[in-house]
Structure 1
Amino acid sequence: MVNSARIRLLEGLLPNHCALCRMRSYRHLPLCRPCESELPANTVACEQCAIPLAGANHLAASRLCGQCLAHPPPYDRVIAPWLYGEYLARLIQRWKYQRERHLTPVLAHLWLKKAGRRTDIDLLIPVPLHWRRRWHRGFNQSELLAAHLGDHVAAAGGLTPDLRTVKRHRPTAPQSAMCAAQRKRNLANAFTVSRPCDNLRIAIVDDVLTTGATAAALSRALKQAGARHIEVWCLARTPTPYI
């Protein structure tokens, strides 16, 4: 009750404006409800890699894409509640490349709105950046998102993101223009796990899943360290993987 009153008072004194349409948002987030309603949800997707499935049966007991059936990835599940469409891409790019960190609560809200509160995770690991990339950018966007999501994990007091277990021990080239095979080669042996993860249930936090090369490389390292179950929590999935 007190927090709600404070939010209403703050909104009255310093109103938020939507990061997309620039109109007043009339809520505690810089995203208005009409713009939020335009974001495409990833509603019918592969249960393992979250790639959208065209014409899939909503009532099917199990939905896996052909790629996951033929070549299962090292992670067990991807939770990517949104598609990487124009509006969400604009928010993520401003957050990530224009250093608009105030958008972190908006993006966390969007993930939690669809994915909900989780109860079954032992460790929350943001995808690590190499120290050079972090120094150049000034922050790791996956750490920012993981810190907000960790507050809503139903463990005692939530989960603090683990920044020590995994390190990116060598720099990798930017992957935005790479195909899937190039991304896989680029990330080979890029991550080092510093301690045993025996029987742990781990969530890897990232912004967008495209080919899944980063998530796969990190998952392999964690599985080799003994992890039992690995999920990938990301904001969005690209509609089709790069070839």
Structure 2
Amino acid sequence: MYRLKSLVSRWLNDAFPGSCLLCGSDSPDALLCPACAADLPAPPSACCPQCAEQTTHGERCGACLTDPPHFDQTLAAFHYDFPVNRIIQALKYGHQLAVAKWLGYRLAALIKPGEQLIVPLPLHPERLRERGFNQSMEIARAVGKQLNLPVDHCSLFRNRPTQRQADLPLKERRKNVRGAFECTADMTGKNILLIDDVMTSGATLNECARVLKLHGAAHVTAVVAARALKH
């Protein structure tokens, strides 16, 4: 049933475009009308190159200097604020799969040549059955198609269900996902694009990057549609 719902939603998105997702005005060739697209909050011009948190001059933030994450770089298309939160929620909870394609194209524009493999953040099978699809996988497919890169959706997986990160205080999130991922492939020497929809604390992406590095990954770039900022 969930798979059928996802397929029907995908078909409707492709068959009946034409309205701006945010304001409902005519937008026959794009997800958003030009006015709404121009209002989307961009990430800060000066941010930490490792975690994309806002900094004064683009230097590494204190958190990354004190306790460096396992991912080497973060690329974000938007700042997670209104109305970007509505766009991502339309994908995540409204099954608006056209959003994934739209986000994927914007992320692809940020990525420089030299990457080798795309890995979407995995969902546990229980969560996947609940939602019907993996939003990170849908975004990853769009990025892979745009860049002509392979998408590995099998090697990295969740070995146990975890509490929703959004329901936990920031200090509890790293503990919640510790040991929740496994990798079955040899990633030796690979440059990996690890894709998710939103980065808040970065705990889940950090744990995934840790596992990928344990399996030999040379470089892991966290690629997210939106970055939630502390300030």
TM-score, scaled to structure 2: 0.88
Q: Is the 8 A contact 1:15 1:24 kept in 2?
A: no
The letter of the residue matching 2:125 is: W
CA distance in 1, matches of 2:165, 2:100: 23
Whole-angstrom distance in 2 between the partners of 1:200 and 1:112: 18
The percent of aligned pairs where both chains have the same amino acid is 33
Q: Which residue of 1 aligns with 2:4?
A: none
Contact 2:19/2:31 (<8 A) preserved? yes
Aligned match of 1:22:
24
Q: CA offsets, 1:84-141, max 9 Å, x none? A: 011000010111012111222222233345x1x5311111000000111101100000
Is 2:101–2:138's contact at 8 Å kept on the other side of the alignment? no
Partner of 2:123: 129
Separation in 2 of the partners of 1:149 and 1:65?
A: 28
Q: Helix, strand or coil for the counterpart of 2:167? A: coil
Structure 1 residue 15: Cα displacement? 6.0
Matched, 1:101 2:101: no
Among residues 157, 179, 185, which one is paired with 1:189 in the alignment? 179
Q: Whole-Å Cα distance in 1 between the matches of residues 87 and 106 of structure 2?
A: 11
Distance 1:52 1:15 in 2: 36
Q: Structure 1: any 5+ residue segments left out of the alignment?
A: 1-12
Letter paired with 2:136: S
The one of 185, 189, 198 equivalent to 1:199 is: 189
Q: 1:215 to 1:15 in 2, by over 3 A?
A: closer
Query: Please, which of 196, 220, 226 is the counterpart of residue 230 of structure 1?
Result: 220
1:35 aligned residue: 36
Alignment of 1:166-185 (within 5 A): 166-185=156-175
Q: Which runs of 4+ in 1 moved over 4 A?
A: none
Q: Does 2:199 align with 1:209?
A: yes
Please tell me whether the aligned partners of residues 51 and 240 of structure 1 are also in contact (alpha carbons under 8 angstroms). yes
Distance 2:186 2:210 in 1: 13
Match of 1:65 in 2: 61
| Preserved contact between residue 120 and residue 137 of structure 2 (Cα < 8 Å) | yes
8 Å CA contact 2:159, 2:181 repeated in 1: yes
Q: Equivalent residue for 1:162? A: 152
The separation in 1 between residues aligned to 2:146 and 2:126, in whole angstroms, is 31
- Whether 1:151 aligns to 2:153 is no
How much is the aligned-residue C-alpha RMSD, in angstroms? 1.7
SS of 1:230's partner is strand
1:88 paired to 2:90: no
Residue 71 of structure 2 corresponds to 75
- 2:52 pairs, out of 31, 50, 53, with 50
Distance 1:238 1:15, change over 3 A: closer
Partner amino acid, structure 1, of 2:20: C
Deviation string, structure 1 residues 125-181 (Cα, Å, up to 9, x no partner): 00000111101100000010000001222xxxx113101211111111111121222
Q: In the alignment, is the contact (CA less than 8 A) between 2:116 and 2:190 conserved in 1?
A: yes
CA deviations 1:48-67 (Å, max 9, x no partner) are 100122xx23xxxx621111
Q: 3-state DSSP class of the match of 1:81?
A: strand
Q: State the alpha-carbon separation in 2 of the partners of residues 118 and 141 from structure 1.
A: 23
Q: Secondary structure at the match of 1:30?
A: coil
- Please say which of residues 213-222 and 177-186 is displaced more in the overlay: 177-186
**CA pair 97-169 structure 1, distance change in 2 beyond 3 A:** same
